[in-house]
Structure 1
């Protein structure tokens, strides 16, 4: 079989524009009152459209994210959540860090009794990642 030489040097300096974490619109998050405090419900918010980028290569990372929580006195306002999650689109952030940051910022704004963020990151190079971050009210 003939040897094939391929010059990969053209890929060495390719880098896509990457925003830093200051682009994440934390201040856009809002809540609305939960009208039944003391009567627990579990809220589950799934999305299959989450995107950030690898801070190393700038290539996109796609995830299915499910946010589950038991509200205290506040619910997360959905439009603000959509804008918040979309603001990650070009941010260079590791998958594990994005998952944890989402949890911490949502807990800070909504003050739930319990919250979990689960992210199923699409496979790259044959490896997918499942990251679960949970807050138990402590």
Structure 2
């Protein structure tokens, strides 16, 4: 049997548009007052629609993200959160960095008692990644 010789050079210069982190809509984020300060509740917000782009390959990364926090005086406003998360759509950012960036931005915004981001990234090439970033006051 002879081995087929396949030319893959046609893929060498293919890149999809990748934006840098400056397009992440941090300023769109808003809060609403938590009307029961001193009474701890846990807020959990899951989404399976998060996407960003691998900065190395330009291919899309998809993740289920679960945001869980204990507010002190502020709640994240949901529509603003949706716009914020959607703004990652074409951003070239590593999975671990995206997870940590979301945590940092939301801690700065809400000043919670606790906040946890769990990102379950879809497998590519047989490897999936789960990234957990946490903040505790």
TM-superposed CA distance for 1:2, in Å, is 3.0
Q: Secondary structure at the match of 2:100?
A: helix
| Structure 2: gaps spanning 5 or more residues | none
Aligned residue in 2 for 1:116: 116
Aligned length: 137
Task: Work out the CA distance in 2 between the residues paired with 1:121 and 1:29.
Answer: 23
TM-score (norm 1): 0.98
* 1:96-107 map, 5 Å: 96-107=96-107
Aligned residue in 2 for 1:69: 69
Task: Work out the CA distance in 2 between the residues paired with 1:58 and 1:24.
Answer: 17
Which consecutive aligned stretches of 4+ in structure 1 deviate over 3 angstroms post-superposition? none
CA displacement 1:9-46 (0-9 Å, x = unmatched) = 00001111100000100000000000111010000000
| Structure 1: gaps spanning 5 or more residues | none
**Aligned-CA RMSD value:** 0.6
TM-score (norm 2): 0.99
CA displacement 1:66-116 (0-9 Å, x = unmatched) = 000000000000000000000000000000000000000000000100000
CA displacement 1:40-75 (0-9 Å, x = unmatched) = 000000000000000011100000000000000000
CA displacement 1:96-137 (0-9 Å, x = unmatched) = 000000000000000100000000000011110000000001
Q: Secondary structure at the match of 1:56?
A: coil
